[in-house]
Amino acid sequence: SAVISQKPSRDICQRGTSLTIQCQVDSQVTMMFWYRQQPGQSLTLIATANQGSEATYESGFVIDKFPISRPNLTFSTLTVSNMSPEDSSIYLCSVEDRTVGYTFGSGTRLTVV
């Protein structure tokens, strides 16, 4: 199955700043997915990132707040912009592996103070 490296694993950020999260996959994948997991809650899909096109955002998420890059078939970044304490969450990237289903990175635990 695909192996995903996500970094940073955690960060504490000041409100009003931005953080870029990186996701590296050890194989080429068509789609990469970004999720948010708020404290004590389940996963919510933020957007789907395809190489060579703009990301597709789910309801409640906008590009200005969560810009995504997908420069090639093995890498993607998610930026959390102009952060507030409400953005404190775990952010996870995921890819679809045809053999085993969806694989997730270990997540980025973000705390905004």
Partner 1 sequence: TQLLEQSPQFLSIQEGENLTVYCNSSSVFSSLQWYRQEPGEGPVLLVTVVTGGEVKKLKRLTFQFGDARKDSSLHITAAQPGDTGLYLCAGGHDYKLSFGAGTTVTVRA
Q: Which two tokens mark 76?
A: 């993607």
By C-beta, is 47 or 83 nearer to partner 1? 47
Between β-strands 101-104 and 108-112, what pairing exists: parallel, antiparallel or unpaired?
Answer: unpaired
Question: What residues between 67 and 96 interact with partner 1 by CB under 8 A?
Answer: 92, 94, 96
**Cβ(74)–Cβ(25) below 8 Å:** yes
By C-beta, is 5 or 20 nearer to partner 1? 5
If one asks whether residue 13 binds partner 1 (CB under 8 A), the answer comes out as: no
Answer for which of 44, 72, 82, 84 binds partner 1 (CB under 8 A) is: 44
Q: Which two tokens mark 77?
A: 């970044």
Listed residue (24, 26, 48, 25) closest to 35, CA to CA: 48
Which residues of the shown chain bind partner 1 in the complex (CB under 8 A)? 4, 6, 31, 33, 41-45, 48, 92, 94, 96, 100-107, 109
